Amino acid sequence: MSQGKCKPPDKRYRRKKKLLPGSLVVLFLGVLFIAVLAGMKSAQFLEPINTSFTPRGESSKGIEQESYRFSPEADEKSYGKGEENNGSGINPEAEDAKLQRTQSAVSSSDPDLKNDTGDDAGEDSVLIDAPYISQLGTYPTGCESVSAVMALQHLGIDITVDEFIDRYLDLGTEPWTAEDGTMYGGDPWETFLGNPREASGWGCYAPVIERAIKKAVDPDQFQVSLLFGIPLDVLCETYLQNNISVILWATIDMEYPTPGDCWLIEGTGEELQWMRPEHCLLLVGYDQDYYYFNDPTAGRQYRYEKSACEAAYQGLHSQAVAVYEKSYPPLKTAE
C-alpha cells in the first residue's frame, strides 16, 4: 500500500478509487441505470446486501434471532469507537433483552427444544453436551475468551472467563484514527484489540486464543491445534465425532461477512482489513441441515443453516482451534 494511507472506509465500507476519464462515463451510465431501477423497484431491492443469502439461525420455538443486518445509514452507529459502539458489532443496549429471550427461548432444559438440543438426533448427527456461558453483559466483546473457556470446561478444566482473560489473554491496542484520518491499531493475529469486558473492544483471531489456551493447560496432558482452511464437514468428522468441540470464527448471527474498517498495524505498517461482524463460537454439533453451536450471544446448542455457517466461516479466514486430551485415541488430524 502506498505510503501507509489506510483511510477509514466510506459509509458503505468500500475502498475509494481514483476514476479514469473512461470510468466516469461508465459511472454516469451506471447511475442512470440505477435511477431507472429506482422508479421500478423499492429501495430495499437495491440494498447492497446479498439478498439471496439466508443466514438466520433459529430455535425450535421459532423465535427469530435479533438482526445484525446493517444498512449503510447505520454503519457509523454500528461500527465506531465509544461506549455504545464496538468492532465486533454487538449492540450493548440490546444485551439485556436478548439475554432474557435467550434464557427463555434457548434453554436446554425446555422439552420443546428436542430438535435444537439433539435429543432426537439421528445416526448422521452429533451433539456435544458442553457447558454454556453467555458473553452478554459482562463480556460484550469477549466471544473468543468465552468460547475458549466453554471448550476447556468441557474437558473438565476448572477455569473461569475472568481467569482466562486476566492470566492468559494477550491484550493490544484497539484501532484509533490519527489527525490526518489514517487509522492505526494492533494486530488481531497477535493480541486481542482492546478489552473484552468493554463494548469498545474489537476481538482477536485464532493464534491469540491458541497461545492463551497453551498457557492455561498442562502441555503434557492436552494438545492444542491451530486449524486453517479446514472445511466444516472435515472438522466435524475429525473432532466432533470424537467428542471434541471446536472453537470457530464466523460472524454474529451468521450474517454474510463484509469488509469493515482497515488500519495500519502499529510497529509494522502492514494493512489490516477487518471483516464484520466478527464472532467466535463453540462448534458442538451437526446434522443433515444444520451446524450447532454454543453461541455466546444466542444460546446453548443453537443451530444455523450449513450454507450460512460455511460462508461466515470462510469470510473470517477459515480459522479454528481444537483442544483435547492427549490420551484420546490417535486422531486423523485435520491440520
Instruction: Write the pLDDT tens digit of every residue in 54-64.
Output: 333 333 222 22
Which residue type occupies 146?
Answer: V
Give yes or no for residue 319 having a pLDDT over 80: yes
Q: Which three cell numbers stand for residue 236?
A: 466435524
| Longest CA–CA separation in the chain, Å | 67
In angstroms, what CA-CA distances link 292 with 103, 184, 256, 280, 305?
A: 17, 36, 18, 13, 9
152-170 CB burial, b ≥16 within 10 A, e <16: bbbbebebebeebbeebbe
Q: Is 92 exposed, middle or buried (0-12, 13-18, 19+ CB in 10 A)?
A: middle
Reported as a pLDDT band with limits 50, 70 and 90, residue 324 is very high
User: What is the pLDDT, as a whole number, of residue 15?
Assistant: 28
The C-alpha atoms of residue 6 and residue 272 are separated, in whole angstroms, by 9
Going by C-alpha positions, the residue among 143, 57, 72 that lies closest to residue 106 is 57
User: What is the pLDDT, as a whole number, of residue 122?
Assistant: 47
Q: What is the pLDDT of residues 227-283, one digit of tens each?
A: 999 999 999 999 999 999 999 999 999 999 999 999 999 999 999 999 999 999 999
Ordered by where they begin, the domains of the chain are 2-13+50-325 (3.90.70.10)
Among 41-50, 96-105, 146-155, 326-335, the range of highest mean pLDDT: 146-155
